Homo-oligomer: A and B are copies of this chain.
Amino acid sequence: MNKQEIPDIIISRLPIYLRALRHMQAEGKLSTSSQELGERIGISAAQIRKDLSQFGEFGKQGTGYDIAYLIEQLREILRVERVWDVALVGMGDMGHALSRYQGFSDRGFRVAMVFDNDPAKIGGQVGNYIVRDAKELVAAIQASGIKLVMLCVPASAAQEVTNQQVEAGVKAILNYAPINLNVPAGVRVQYLDPSIGLQRMTYYLG
């Protein structure tokens, strides 16, 4: 239960388990085994059991895991049993797409405000949002207590905007900009650069 004892690599698998369990649930399944779950996501049954055992005993010998119960437990562990407000910064094509993304609401997230620094965009409407001036970013994030940001600005602006976010109290950044971000301890970054994703696979192309 002590957080610094759970390796990050285990935490990073839990959302995968959760996603697969919800798909099983949507298919009408009521229970599953570590074996079956593992086959679906390409992870060994032993690893799934070991990972889950870090947090408690969620299964039953002989019958496996109740899907609804395990989903509930994983949501609590990951703290997505609640809904987190997220700020979206940079309303280019990627920011625009994320502002309209339907997949956040039932996974624990809500885009609460969107920012850009382009006068042509500020004040305009994108999806359900009015684009706010990036100059208000620090004050608005501080006032709202937002801890999560999705960063969709150009690489050239990403570090500066990140510094502002950190100053405003942001603790987690989903970074779409193709650049490494330097953040202080206690702030986390997940990288979603599409080119990196592709370059991780070309090595293997025959």
Contact = CB atoms under 8 A, between A and B. Distances in A.
A76 to B, nearest CB: 10
Interface stretch (A16-24, A58-66, A133-141): A16-24
Bin the interface of chain A by size: 35 or more
Interface string A1-33: 001000000011011101110010000000000
A21 to B, nearest CB: 11
Contacts of A108: 195, 198-199, 202
A203 B19 CA distance: 16
Interface string A59-97: 000000000000000000111100010100000111011
Copies of this chain in the oligomer: 2
B194 A19 contact: no
A14 B195 CA distance: 12
Interface string A140-161: 0000000110100001000000
Interface string A172-206: 10100011101000001010111111111111111
A100 B92 CA distance: 10
Contact of A23 (B84, B103, B179, B192): B179
B205 A79 contact: yes
Contact of A93 (B16, B101, B179, B204): B101
A42 to B, nearest CB: 7
Nearest to A176: B194
A129 interface: no
A12 to B, nearest CB: 5
A148 B78 contact: no
Contacts of A79: 202-203, 205
A148 B96 CA distance: 25
A50 interface: no
Interface of A: 3, 11-12, 14-16, 18-20, 23, 40-42, 77-80, 84, 86, 92-94, 96-98, 100-101, 103-104, 107-109, 147-148, 150, 155, 171-172, 174, 178-180, 182, 188, 190, 192-206
